Amino acid sequence: MEYINEINSEGFVIIDNVYDENEIKKLISIIENVTKNKTDKTTFRKSEDLFAIRQFHKEIPETLDYIFNENLKDIIKSIFDENYFITKSIYFDKPEKSNWFVAYHQDLTISVDKKLEIENFENWTTKQNQFAVQPPKEILENNFTIRIHIDKTTKDNGALKVINNSHSKGIQRIENIEIKKEKETICEVEKGGVMIMKPLLFHASNKTTNNERRRVIHIEFSNTELPDGLEWSEKTKLN
């Protein structure tokens, strides 16, 4: 119950010790075995500052049994319900000397299978044959994201910083928020821990300054069926 209250009031919660050392090693081994041979795929993005795999759970499905261990399944069941499914996943690897940073933003789009003219679905984009759209805020308010930390994440290697409770105020523009008057939290997470957050929570990520790697598996969830034949492009039900 405490996790539910924290997510509702703050927009996020950090839970340590979800994965043990052996589970983390297995995840790293599976990811490295695949990525050393497949970096030319369109879902793989590599630069000096970031390596990312989009549609991660589809590209490397062997990881799912380790990601959804009994600890994580119990957490999802106790906080949310059994009707949630995966809608999107990304693997981020921020190298030791990364200058990559992300400014404050809300996660306002979802990945879908096609473009349709549907009321209150707007700001359509297409990237690498992937359609994205901003749905009604009620859908976003109902969704959640889990970030699985393969490395210890601190303020010095790009831990997320968030504006507490900003998820409760709907869709906003960051320039309309007086950040100095808001409570900010740097979300440091131990290796093997997770951060659960709401999409409308304003969050940002700074550059790495301590020469330590930061790897995160980012998975988005919903329990909402989309209207008029529109489908989540990466929809995967949990076992």
Per the structure, the complete domain to which residue 156 belongs is given by 2-237
Number of domains in the chain: 1
In the prediction, which pLDDT does 101 show? 84
CATH number at residue 175: 2.60.120.620
Write out pLDDT tens, residues 147-182. 999 999 999 998 999 999 999 999 999 999 999 999
Q: What is the mean pLDDT of residues 41-61?
A: 83
Q: pLDDT tens-digit profile of 88-139?
A: 999 998 877 777 789 999 999 999 999 999 999 999 999 877 899 999 999 9
> Cα–Cα distance between 116 and 113 in angstroms, integer?
10
Rounded-to-integer distance, Cα 238 and Cα 2, Å: 24
**86-104 in b/e burial notation, b at 16+ Cβ within 10 A?**
bbbbbbbbbbeebebeeeb
Q: Identify the H or E element spanning 140.
A: helix 137-142
